Chains A and B, each alone.
Chain A
């Protein structure tokens, strides 16, 4: 049999699965682990709906060969809540009407988190750059950019 064992950290929890050769991380997360938060929008790297963090860095799960995350840490939208509390980015997206159909939202939030984790007070241009690999076809980018900026300044205010 050609199944390959694969073990990694998924939102802080050790998981072990068997994948077919060539399986991408998006399929592994959705179909084998059952984490439906990363979305399929293209399978080509073009939309960013499948964005996840691997060891804290933004990656496209559809273009990541599943085996390459062995022993590493994968974080998806499902892991960013703090207990029952929404992450400041999630709250800011809600308050700023930063989603319509919501399909890009998981990827947008992960791209935004990758930015804020490393740069808690980004400029507008840095926010634009950070979400430049994520396509939103409904909302328009203004509310999304505003939400990320609001989350950043909100974080500062409460810190």
Chain B
């Protein structure tokens, strides 16, 4: 059962709240238990047609010829849609925020790059008739060597998966083939460590498997627009993506969504809407395009696989003094959101621990697998799995209790993170202490008394000399404080701090502080 530990950090919180900390009924619960919540597929439209998509049977092949002549004549077929019918048949999801190059067609034209890639869409009176027509489409494939392993994909002479990125890596800011993190001198620290542990971790792709599969229904509306019922988790993102691919202003569409039958990140890729709407545009009729379960598993994008190498230096007393990370994210055949996952991952290194020397290189790699996408903490979850496995092994190596080992190395308020930001509102120590208590795991008194609020900062706030740095780093982080910071929320315990020193001249032009730009601060400069 849920237990809120309000005794911890009690002085930092106003507990006089109406909702937080109390059980509140979901507003959609009555609809759920009566079966009246309306999902996208619960719309029955007059004269609705059904769309099915012919998918690649090969992981990598040239398409020599696609012959739909016989399928066109098949009973019940209203329209066959090919790549040439898609107004802008190349897109990348994050192009909406000017990030990355268009690299993915809605329908494959000259090449297929993963098994399950859409080639031809068929709109027919019934699903059965669409399937019958599908069997009559002739695709002449010329199979190409495929690459399924991230490190193989980076070797010289590896098959080029996606010609937009000929090195099989995503290119950041038109220059960099990976994301780097440098803090201190990890190599030197490793040389002086009492123990060094290097390990390899491999994650599998994970399918979200929402109980409702991806799908949409698109129909001409009464006002010349199109109404689109969709399973999307990202309504306006899907709307804008569809508008871009179909090359129409976004006010052409009225997207209706909101009630999603499970998403977990697997319904942000706009997998069905553009073709479904195009079907409605080309036939003038409502069109329904719903993935079957096998399609959802094969074609629906999973959480990407990641391969992670960790090399850590640890001292006999349990302090981690260096962490070197090399990781490869398997983006599959197209970028989707993996480029962003890599950025998130690097921003998360080296995990919630104060380590004075951190070195990270993370690559977004293209292979002939189903394109990966968002899933619950993507970019971070798999890395955390690797890091926490590693933490157990390191604790073992130095003969320490694994919980105490984590407490010893955890961020404390005022510590310097590898990104040169001060750690604030830390709570890992308290979490470990409560976890130990709950699992009746004995911690030594000294560790039970440790606190995120004690012993941080000072020497731990220093930014070490980092080889290869061109610009001297400021000693204090240039960052805003907000009212949610612990230091301001507890005025009685602490004298007010000095205002932070004025930031040194910023490396980039000052940017307004709305959401989009904060997002861009992750990515660096924006075009536009």
A–B contact (CB under 8 angstroms): yes
CB-nearest residue of chain B relative to A102? B32
Whether A94 contacts B25 by the Cβ 8 Å rule is yes
CB distance from B341 to the nearest CB of A (A): 21
Interface residue? A130 (CB, 8 A): no
Interface residues of B in 129-188 (CB under 8 A from A): none
Mark interface residues in B56-86 (1 if CB within 8 Å of A CB, else 0). Answer: 0000000000000000000000000000000
> What residues on B are CB-neighbors of A137 within 8 Å?
208-211, 262, 264
Instruction: Give the chain B neighbours of A94 by CB distance below 8 A.
Output: 25, 29-30, 33
B50–chain A nearest beta-carbon distance, Å: 11
Task: Decide: B128 and A103 in contact? CB cutoff 8 A.
Answer: no
State which of A39-47, A53-61, A67-75, A117-125 sits at the interface with chain B: A39-47
- B261–A39 touching, CB < 8 Å: yes
Tell me if A's interface is mostly helix, strand, loop or mixed. Answer: loop
Report whether A99 and B212 are in contact in the complex, using a CB–CB cutoff of 8 Å.
no
The reply to whether A102 and B31 contact each other, CB–CB distance below 8 Å, is: yes
How many whole Å from B25's CB to the nearest CB in chain A?
7
Of the residues B34, B128, B213, contact of A41 by C-beta under 8 Å: B213
**CB atoms of B261 and A101 under 8 A apart:** yes
Compute the total of residue contacts between A and B using a CB distance below 8 Å: 104
Contact A102:B128 (CB < 8 A) given known A41-B211, A78-B35? no
Asked if A34 meets B33 with Cβ closer than 8 Å, knowing A22-B128, A46-B293, A101-B212, the reply is no
Known: A39-B39, A40-B41, A49-B211. A101 touches B260 (CB 8 A): yes
Report the minimal beta-carbon distance from A100 to chain B, rounded to whole angstroms.
8
Interface size on A, residues (CB 8 A): 39
**Other-chain contact of B262, A30, A31, A34, A101 (Cβ < 8 Å):** A101
The answer for the CA separation of A16 and B83 in the assembled complex, in Å, is 43
**Nearest-neighbor residue (CB-CB) of A91 within chain B:** B33
Scoring B26, B36, B41, B262 by chain A CB atoms within 10 A of each residue's CB, the highest score goes to B262
Interfacial chain B residues near A78, Cβ < 8 Å = 35
What is the distance, in angstroms, from B451's C-beta to the closest C-beta of chain A?
33
- Interface of B, secondary structure class, is loop
Counting chain B CB atoms within 10 Å of each CB, which of A43, A78, A91, A101 scores highest?
A101
Cα–Cα, bound, A27→B112 (Å): 33
Closest partner residue, chain B, to A34 (CB atom): B44
* Distance between Cα atoms of A77 and B42 in the complex (Å): 15
Q: Which residue of A lies closest to B264 (CB)?
A: A137
> CA of A151 to CA of B110 in the docked complex: distance in angstroms?
58
Contacts of B260 in A (CB 8 A): 101
Q: How far is the CB of B265 from chain A (nearest CB, A)?
A: 12
In the complex the two chains form, what is the Cα distance from A74 to B213 in whole Å? 25
Q: Which of B23, B37, B38, B126 contacts A20 (CB 8 A)?
A: B126
By the criterion CB–CB under 8 Å, are B33 and A90 in contact?
yes
Query: What 0/1 readout, one digit per residue, does chain B (2-45) give for beta carbons within 8 Å of chain A?
Result: 00000000000000000000010110111111111111011010
Q: Closest A-chain residue to B24, C-beta based? A: A97
- CB of A93 within 8 A of chain B? yes
CB distance from B296 to the nearest CB of A (A): 8
Q: Is B211 in contact with A36, judged by CB distance below 8 angstroms?
A: no
* Known contacts A31-B44, A39-B39, A137-B262; is-contact A105 B32 (Cβ 8 Å): yes
A34 to chain B: which residues have CB within 8 Å? 44
Cβ A81 vs Cβ B34 within 8 A: yes
Q: How far is the CA of A7 from the CA of B213 in the complex (A)?
A: 30
Q: Are A102 and B261 in contact (CB under 8 A)?
A: yes
Contact: B212 with A39, CB < 8 Å? yes
Interface residue? A115 (CB, 8 A): no
Are the CB atoms of B293 and A43 closer together than 8 Å?
A: yes
Q: How far is the CB of A142 from chain B (nearest CB, A)?
A: 10
Tell me, rounded to whole Å, the shortest Cβ–Cβ distance linking A59 to chain B: 17
In Å, the complex CA distance between A40 and B28 comes to 20
B211 pairs with A104, CB closer than 8 A: yes
Closest chain B CB from A38 CB (angstroms)? 8
Q: Indicate if the CB atoms of B33 and A138 lie closer than 8 Å.
A: no
Q: Is the CB of A105 within 8 A of B35?
A: yes
Given A43-B292, A46-B293, A86-B34, A136:B211 Cβ within 8 A: yes
List of A residues within 8 angstroms of B30 by Cβ: 94
Residues 125-141 of A at the B interface (beta carbon under 8 Å):
135-138
- B211 near A135 with CB under 8 A, answer yes
Q: Complex Cα distance A59/B287, Å?
A: 29
A109 close to B (CB within 8 Å): yes
In A80-110, the 8 Å CB interface with B consists of 81, 86, 90-91, 93-94, 97, 99-106, 109
10 closest pairs, A vs B, by CB? Answer: A102-B32, A37-B35, A103-B261, A42-B293, A77-B35, A90-B33, A36-B42, A99-B32, A103-B211, A106-B35
List 25 A-B residue pairs with CB atoms under 8 Å apart, sorted by A's residue number.
Answer: A36-B35, A36-B42, A36-B44, A37-B35, A40-B41, A41-B293, A42-B292, A43-B293, A49-B211, A78-B35, A81-B34, A86-B33, A90-B34, A93-B33, A99-B26, A99-B32, A100-B26, A101-B211, A102-B33, A102-B37, A102-B261, A103-B262, A105-B32, A137-B211, A138-B262
Beyond A46-B293, A102-B28, list 20 extra A-B contacts (CB 8 Å).
Answer: A20-B128, A30-B44, A36-B35, A36-B42, A37-B35, A39-B39, A39-B41, A40-B212, A41-B211, A41-B293, A43-B293, A47-B293, A90-B33, A93-B29, A94-B33, A99-B32, A101-B211, A101-B261, A102-B29, A137-B262
Taking Cβ atoms with an 8 Å cutoff, the residues of A that contact B are 20, 22, 30-31, 34, 36-37, 39-44, 46-47, 49, 76-78, 81, 86, 90-91, 93-94, 97, 99-106, 109, 135-138
